[in-house]
Structure 1
Amino acid sequence: MRKNNASKYLAYAFLILLALAWLFPALFGLFTSFKSQGDIMEVGFRMFPANWIVTNYLKLLQNTSSAPIITWFFNSLFVSTTHALLVVVVVSLAAFGYTRVNFKGRDALFYGVLAISMFPSAVNIIPSYKIVDSLGWVNTYLAVIIPGLGGVGNVFLVRQFMQNIPAEYDESARMDGASDFVIYKNIILPLVKPVLIVAGMFSFVGSWNDFLWPTIVLSDVKKMTITAGLQLLQDLYGNYVMIGQLMSAAVIAMIPTVLLFVFAQKYFIDSLNLNVGIK
């Protein structure tokens, strides 16, 4: 019993250290966004502001020309939400095909695609850009929404969930004259709702935090996502005088992902239980 308690306490201590390692820079950035120029340039380390101010946020929000942070925020919100919704549709259809539709070479095709996905994503940047350019999507929202819709990681996650649903459901529905699409829509989708929500959230966060690809395909300041905009802000404000505004922009960029984590923890837990939707 003592050994079990010791292991539990060690695990808790390790998790607390990991949490602190993540929280400390986030909290430091948050507090820095409320610091005055004098506090930021002060020699030595100071976690909390000597005088709390909101001037950094006001100046940042008032800049609607060279750094339209509100426009970037809503651009990212539109791109990430649209991308996540389309991912749910594409991934659920792909997983349904790989688990509920029998065709020759089905498993070989899936594992082949899974093997190809093991290559680093940086390898695909130039081919992806050439494809996007040939379609005329450069500097449009399509360039940051469409690529990555069929991410193999999400397909694998939903496929594993679907495989646990008994095949008898499909057979009973087919005996009643249901087509594959009816089975997908009326039987499978309700059962895999928790994991689809998780896949959608992963896609939203991945799209929201994506930095490299938007900076490559978007050049119009008014069309930039917030991550690409932060890079522009770093070029504009990358000195001690403007570091408070840069931190303010970073805090604004964190808001959606933090809220998503707070309100969606239940679905992360449900997705770990493969039987959650089966009654």
Structure 2
Amino acid sequence: MLKPFVRRLMLAVFMLSLAACSPTEYSGRAQGDASLRAESAQRESNPYLAYEHSVRARLQEDKIAAAHQQIMDACAADRENQCTLLDAELNREYARASLRLRIKPAGVKPILELLAQAGEVTQVNTHVEDLAAAIVDAEKQVEMLTSYRDRLLELEKRSADNIDSLIKIASQLAQTQAELERATGDNAYLLQRVNMDILNISFDAEHNESFWKPISRSLSSFSEDLSEAISEVITAVAYLLPWLVMLTLLFFPLRFIWRKLRKL
């Protein structure tokens, strides 16, 4: 009699566990897919959006350096998405690291998947900036300066026999060309921002340090901290010493005057 009951009980527990776990996993995948679809639709509707992603991952302390190097190697190998390493930091003493990458939008997801394999991704933030107005203004300025430069070149040809006019035109032409190059560079930078994403990655260690590690870290910097403390004390004494001398010199005259006033 007990066997059928036990079987039904085990089946009920199994079904409850599926009911508790499966929706969560499905919801997480569905939310991720929905987020990607929304981002893709937003990019298609407005091609002048600049994306910057900030990701935080938690790993075991002894795996941070390896994961840090693995992401850098993956970025260097990703020629298709033109991944570029902009900044890298690795602090072995405090088990922290960070990376800043510039990469095409299609290359962001593979980097995040690689990061998820190395540890737990605890935070993902995306900042979007609309550069439509800035890009339109930059393109108009480039067009205006290009047209003005072409008119100056045409005017220079017509004034070949007038030395004074040639000098003025050459000066104005040099200034216009410099402004045009600067405007072209600004426009190229803005276009790069909308065509390439910025990906910031922070690596944090799991909080499982041994009891002695913070103590050993403090002892390793003991001599440096002691020397800094002594130097601060000496500096304080140097500031206080003139005041002590002045107060000592004033004490006796003031005391004498005070006694005279009390007798009156």
The TM-score range, normalised by the shorter chain, is under 0.3
Which protein is bigger by CA-based radius of gyration? 2
Greater relative contact order (Cα 8 A, min sep 6): structure 1 or 2? 1
